[in-house]
Each structure stands twice: as C-alpha cells, then as structure tokens.
Amino acid sequence: MSIAISDTHSRRTWWRENQQKLTPYIFLIPGVLFFLVYVIIPIFESFWLSGYDWDGLGAKTWIGLDNYRELFDDEAFYTSLKNNVLWLVLYMLAVPAGLGIAIFLNQKVRGIRAYKSLFFFPFVISQVVVGLIFAWFYAPNFGLFYNLIEWATGSGIAILADPNLVTYGIIAAGLWPQIAYCMILYLTGLNAVDPEQIEAARLDGAKGFRMLWYVILPQLRPATFMAVVVTVIGALRSFDLVSIMTDGGPFGSSRVLSFYMFEQALSEYGYRMGYGAAIAVILFLIMMVFISGFIWKMVDDERKGL
Amino acid sequence: MRLKATVSISALAAIAASTAYAGTVKYYGDFDPAPLAAMQAVIADFEAANPDIKIEFQNFDHEGYKTSIRNFLSADAPDLANWYAGNRMAPFVNAGQFQDISDVWEENGLKEALASALPSMTMDDKQWGIPYTYYQWGIYYNKDVYEQVGVEVPETWDQFIENCAAFKEAGIDCATTGTKALWPGAGIFDYLNLRTNGYEFHMDLANGEVPWTDDRVRATFAEWGKLVEPGYITQNHAALDWQDAAALLVQGQAANYVMGNFAVAVFKQGGMTDDTLGFMPFPTINPDVPRAEEAPTDTVHLTSAAQNPEDAKAFLAYLASPDAQTKINAAMGQLPINKDATVAEDDPFIQAGFELLSSTEGGIAQFFDRDAPPEMAKIGMEGFQQFMVQPDQLDNILERLEKARGRIYK
C-alpha cells in the first residue's frame, strides 16, 4: 500500500521536476518535425537522387557518380558557376551602398519618413516586378536605358542580348531591392548607436570618415553581419530575376546554378532529375561553406559574450 | 500490388457506373478561348449523336498544362488528354501512359484520311493518338516594303539573299526574328536544313542518327551564314520576344519573318491587311531535294489509365471525321488534317497553307522541339541562337551539340 502511494507520488514529481527541462523540447517538436520533412530529409534525398538517371516518370537507373562526371565536363555548368561568383562579388556592393544611403537618410528633416519609405520601396515590390521593370528598361528599340545609350553614343546596347553584359544587367536589377534591404538594416542599427559615444568622440576631435570607421561602424556590427548574411544568401539563390529577365539566355550565358538546376530538373525541356539533383548538391556544398562560416561566427560571438 | 490496383480501379468503375452515366469520358485539354468554344461545340455534336456517352471536359492554361500533364497522367488520369505529335509524345508512349489506338485508325480508314500526319503519329508501327489540327510555317513578308525597295518576291535562296542586300541598303532588316524564347530560331534552322538536305536527313538528325559535325550540317549552317554574317537578321533578336519582332515587320522596319501561321493574327492586330501582308513558302536552296514543310500537329491521346476506353475511342473516331475537323479548325484559324475536310475560302493564308501542305511531296516535319527529344531540342535551339549572334563560334557550337547527341540518344 505504502509502496503504491510512493510510486504514484514519485511519478508525479518526476514530471513536475522535469517539466521545466522538457517543455522547450515539446515546443520544439513541431518545428523540428517540419524542418526534418521539408529541409533535412530533402537534402539527403538530393544526394541520393544525384546518383540516378531518372526522368521523373519512368524507372530510375543507378549510375553512381556519372552525373558529377558529366557536370564537371559541362560548359554550361562552368558558365553558371562563374555567374554565381559574379553575383556573390557584385551583390556585396549592396552592403556599403545600403550603409551610405542609411547614413544619408539618418537625419531629422521635414518629411524624412516619406523619403525613407521611397528608398525602401524597391524592397516591397515583388522580384518579378523588378525583373519586368528592368527588362523594359534595357529593351532594345524602346527601353529607356537603350535609348539613353543610343542618344549618348549613337548606337544602343541591348544588355540582355549581349552574352558578355547580360549577367551584369541582371545583377544591377537585383541590387536595387537588395540595397534597400541593407539600408533598412542599417537604419535600425543607427537608431541604436549611442549618442554619448559620438559626443565623446566629437570632443576628442574625431569627424568624417574616422568617426564613421572607428566609432559608428563598430557599433553597427550586428547590422553589418545581418546585411552580409542576407546578401550572400540572396546572391546564391538569385533565380527569379534570371528567370523573368532572360530565362537564362542568350544561349545560356546568364544562367546561375539555381536556375540551371531548375532547367535540368523541372523545365519543359529538362526532367533530368538526377542531373538536377547533382547541381543542387554542388550548390548546397557552396552554400554550406558560407552557412558554416556564419554559424561559426555566431557561436564564437556568443562565447565572447558579444 | 498490381492485383490491388486492378481491384480498386474496378471498384471505382463500379461506383462510377452506379452513380453517373454509363459512359462518362474524362477529357483534359489546353485550349485558347476560340478553339475551346469550337471543341465544346464538337463535344456537343458528339453527345447529341451518342446520347449515352457524356464527355466531361476540363480546360487548363497552356503553360500550366505542360507541367501538370506529367502529374495527372500518373496520379489521376483522365480518359483523353491533349498533347503533341512526333517526339513530344515519345516520353509518354515509352512510359506506357498513352494507349495504342491503331484499331481506331484501322477501323475508320484514317491511314488514308489523315495520311499527312500518319508518320508523326506512328511509333513502333502503332498509332498513339488522333491529330486534329496543324498549321503551316513559311515566310511572312511586308508587301509595302518589297514595293518600296523595288524587289520581287524570291523563289530561290540566292534571290532571297540578293534582296537582302537591297533591304540592307534601305536600312531595313531583311529577316527578323525574336529568339528570347529560343524556338523562333529553330524554325529558320529547320527550313534551311529541310531545303539543303531534305526531310529524311532532317529527321535522321533530329533522331540522333547523324553527327552534328557532319559536312551536310555544315552546309546548312553555311547557307545560314549568308544571312547572319552580312547582318541581314535583326540585331538584338536574343532580347526580343517573337511578338516584338512581329511589330518590326508591321512597322516596315523588317521585310521577312520565318514564322508559323498563328502569327497572322498578331500582324493583323498591328494593322496589316491581306493587301499588305504576304506569305511565301520558304525559298528553294537545293532544287534536287523534294519540298518538305513544317507543320506542328496538335493531338488527343487515350491514356493507359482510361476507365472508359471504348467510349473514348468513339469520341476519337468522331474527332478524326471531316465534319469535326472542319468545325474546330474554322474556329482555330488552322488547317484540318482530314483530307476531306474544308477550309475557309476567304482567308488567303489558310488557303495558301492548305495548298502548300497538301502538295508537299518531301514530308511534314513537326518543328525542331517536337522532332528532337526535349533535351536535344533545348541545347540545339541555344546553339542556333548563339550562331545567329556569334557565327564565328560555329565549331564550338557543333561540337557541343555532338557531345550532347552522344549522351542523349542511347
């Protein structure tokens, strides 16, 4: 009798004692489940699929590493890779440009809120609309940019028809909303800058660039970190603009890896699931380099108590 | 597993039979509004003649249909589905998702009535669908511009190139195209190759039986070079949609456009009339080659998972009849395949197309992206576009296509 009582008693207290510890895990379960089903498992599935030759309908044939062998001998893959690097490097311009605009807008003038929202506007409109606007802007014969160049130099340049310029044209379109995004991150960051430190620096005679570099930027570190992260990820998943503006053309010169993957695996002329998966794996590995870098930095910062 | 599937299908059929009409045929298609109305009229006629059969038609938009057909054929298949002839139906035939309907062809004498489309509907000596419409390709030209420059409508390729020099002199693009979506360039290649090497060679090339580095392919590109190298083709075509290039023809900035007959509607919307818009067959390059033409064909197929194949076949047979084909093509502004059907007499382009295709002795090609397998089509069309921008890259392009051929056709 007494044993039974102490048993139920102890069971109840076990739950009570561990409630605090268990609750977070219980709350995590749905999130973890979805993350597993929609992110982690598909990653492994991609690795697995990349060893097959499969059209998405018929039978799968195991071909081992043949997809990768073909990929490393595929001109289109190297074009896409080169364009991805271009995107990564040039997209980074959004960070200093966003900072510049944020500092410029960080003042108390009549109607500054209206100006801020105008600068933020490109981030609000959809990427598809941005792509369309820029495609018309560059369009031969009637585009504003084309006509400007024609007026200035005598012969217009159709950016989106020129295999050497097309990627730069698309990146420029992508920078427009990305700069706005970075600007917003810095504007919120600037709100948190300690006015006393600036006062003190001013008393010590700091101004202009030195003030920016030694006093303000260090305080903006979290904003800079976020801006770099979203810009890197934005550059690596640049898909919508390429698809809207050129569809990868002319003759594939504006493809990026994510677009090439889609084209091979899912477009009307593709349905090579295995090959698409192989491209996805390569893209994943490239992203992993950056993602683990970011995670490492975050953990490091936490350890240092920053 | 298979046993279970058959059991469940027959169970479903039993439920369907007990609740709905004895013969309900599910039919999925992708029609534009005018052809849709015509198809609905054809369906109504069929239902009136066969009161015990009901056709349940569901319409999709074109682009969405191309992706969703892959899903619904394996998951929730209708009895009948729209698709295309030639190699475009090959994946579904090979995957066993379309049914052999040779018996419908045999019983209704379709091999004679639909003779012009027989080769493109045949795989492994069996017929896999019913073609109901096609349209001609050729060169559409601006008559005013021809008059302004003072040149004759050419019959041979040499005359065409000579005219180009005169157009260039006048600051007019001799040939326009918009290859942003790639396929318009393939029309030019197809015709140059059909006229240089003939239908048989063109089909062998599309089927991967001839290397792309073959001298005969180079001969085709040499003819093309006569147009590309002096700059007779609209610059920046790689950034233009085909409709943008049509505007150039309408405005008189371009003289000729290798296009399909569906472009006539766009030219006419732009203000051209039968008096200013002309049509000519693609000029002769090699007089020894029998004249072949390009006429993409739209088709309806019986799916393998069809639950009511008998009634579906009855509808297919009706769709192949002269009456049905006349009706639907009058609405689509296209050409019927049944040789006993009639075409609108007041449309000179339809008339010209009907004469052109019914007198073709060489053979009727489907268009590069239907004759060649999809992957080859994509890589090929990119190569054609690149050649029109960078003709000096020809060797690279052909080697790339040859490499793709080695991989794609196994």
Residue A106 in contact with residue A212, Cβ under 8 Å?
no
What residues of chain A lie within 8 A of the CB of B244, using their CB?
A: 139, 141
Mean pLDDT of the region B273-290: 93
Task: Indicate if A40 and A137 belong to the same structural domain.
Answer: no
Task: Indicate if A213 and A283 belong to the same structural domain.
Answer: yes
Instruction: Determine how β-strand B23-29 pairs with β-strand B80-84.
Output: parallel
Question: What is the predicted pLDDT for the residue at B1?
Answer: 38
What residues of chain B lie within 8 A of the CB of A159, using their CB?
A: 239
Residue B13 has pLDDT above 60, yes or no: no
Is B386 at the interface with chain A, CB within 8 A?
Answer: yes
Confidence of residue B17 (pLDDT cuts 50, 70, 90): very low
Task: Indicate if A158 and A33 belong to the same structural domain.
Answer: no
Is B239 at the interface with chain A, CB within 8 A?
Answer: yes
Does A249 sit within 8 Å of B382, measured CB to CB? yes
CB under 8 Å, gap of 24 or more: what pairs does A287-295 form? Answer: A287/A233, A287/A236, A290/A232, A290/A233, A290/A236, A294/A229
- Which of A75, A269, A273, A275 to probe the B interface (max B CBs under 10 A)? A269
Question: What size, in residues, is chain B?
Answer: 410
Å between B304 CA and nearest CA of chain A? 14
Question: What is the predicted pLDDT for the residue at B193?
Answer: 96
Does A58 sit within 8 Å of B390, measured CB to CB? no
Tell me the three state secondary structure of residue A249.
Answer: coil
∠ Cα A284 A286 A288 (to 5°): 65
| pTM as predicted | 0.81
CB pairs A-B closer than 8 Å: 81
Query: Comparing A11-15, A235-239, B92-96, B366-370, which segment has the lowest mean pLDDT?
Result: A11-15
Is B226 at the interface with chain A, CB within 8 A?
Answer: no
What residues contact A90, with CB distance under 8 A and at least 6 apart? A168, A171, A175
Is B295 at the interface with chain A, CB within 8 A?
Answer: no
Residue B120 has pLDDT above 60, yes or no: yes
Question: What is the predicted pLDDT for the residue at A11?
Answer: 61
Minimum-distance CB partner of A161 among B66, B236, B248 = B236
Number of domains in chain A: 2
Question: What is the predicted pLDDT for the residue at B137?
Answer: 94
Does B390 sit within 8 Å of A57, measured CB to CB? no
Minimum-distance CB partner of B239 among A55, A161, A252 = A161
Å between A156 CA and nearest CA of chain B? 10
For A284, counting Cβ atoms within 10 Å of its Cβ (0-12 exposed, 13-18 middle, 19+ buried), the class is middle
Asked if the structure places residue A62 within a domain, the reply is: no
Task: Indicate if A149 and A296 belong to the same structural domain.
Answer: yes
Please give the single-letter amino acid code of residue B106. E
Å between B106 CA and nearest CA of chain A? 30
Confidence of residue B3 (pLDDT cuts 50, 70, 90): very low
Asked if the structure places residue A56 within a domain, the reply is: no
Is B94 at the interface with chain A, CB within 8 A?
Answer: yes
Task: Indicate if A89 and A158 belong to the same structural domain.
Answer: yes
Q: What is the pLDDT of residues B71-84, one digit of tens each?
A: 898 888 999 999 99
Q: For A166, which residue in chain B has the nearest alpha carbon?
A: B239
For A172, counting Cβ atoms within 10 Å of its Cβ (0-12 exposed, 13-18 middle, 19+ buried), the class is middle
Asked if the structure places residue A150 within a domain, the reply is: yes
Q: For A160, which residue in chain B has the nearest alpha carbon?
A: B239
Asked if the structure places residue A292 within a domain, the reply is: yes
Residue B187 phi/psi, 5° resolution? -60, -40
Asked if the structure places residue A61 within a domain, the reply is: no
Minimum-distance CB partner of A269 among B236, B237, B374 = B374
Does A58 sit within 8 Å of B94, measured CB to CB? yes
Å between A254 CA and nearest CA of chain B? 12
Closest-CA residue to B252 (of B230, B232, B267): B267
Q: Does A208 or B10 have the greater pLDDT score?
A: A208
- Give the CATH fold of the B137-294+366-408 domain: D-Maltodextrin-Binding Protein; domain 2 (3.40.190)
Minimum-distance CB partner of B238 among A70, A75, A161 = A161
Residues of chain A short of pLDDT 70, as ranges, are 1-12, 306
What residues of chain B lie within 8 A of the CB of A70, using their CB?
A: 407
Residue B409 in contact with residue B373, Cβ under 8 Å?
yes
Å between B186 CA and nearest CA of chain A? 13
Domain enclosing residue A11, as ranges: 2-49
Å between A180 CA and nearest CA of chain B? 28
Residue B229 has pLDDT above 80, yes or no: yes
Is B66 at the interface with chain A, CB within 8 A?
Answer: yes
Question: What is the predicted pLDDT for the residue at A10?
Answer: 58
Residue B386 has pLDDT above 60, yes or no: yes
Minimum-distance CB partner of B239 among A57, A158, A268 = A158
- What CATH number is attached to the domain comprising A121? 1.10.3720.10
E strand segments, A89-135 = none
Task: Indicate if A76 and A124 belong to the same structural domain.
Answer: yes
Residue B395 has pLDDT above 60, yes or no: yes
Q: What is the pLDDT of residues A255-286, one digit of tens each?
A: 999 999 999 888 877 778 999 999 999 999 99
Class of domain B2-134+297-341: alpha beta
Rounded Cα distance between B30 and A48, Å, is 35
∠ Cα B340 B344 B350 (to 5°): 95
Task: Indicate if A23 and A78 belong to the same structural domain.
Answer: no
Does B95 sit within 8 Å of A57, measured CB to CB? yes
Rounded Cα distance between B339 and B362, Å, is 17
Question: What is the predicted pLDDT for the residue at A7?
Answer: 54
Is B68 at the interface with chain A, CB within 8 A?
Answer: no
Query: Comparing B274-278, B346-350, B395-399, which segment has the lowest mean pLDDT?
Result: B346-350
H or E, element range at A266: helix A257-266
- Which of A251, A253, A273 to probe the B interface (max B CBs under 10 A)? A251
Is B382 at the interface with chain A, CB within 8 A?
Answer: yes
Task: Indicate if A229 and A113 belong to the same structural domain.
Answer: yes
Q: In the predicted model, what is the mean pLDDT of chain B? A: 88
Q: Where in chain B is the domain with CATH 3.40.190.10?
A: 2-134+297-341, 137-294+366-408
Closest-CA residue to A54 (of A45, A43, A63): A63
Asked if the structure places residue A92 within a domain, the reply is: yes
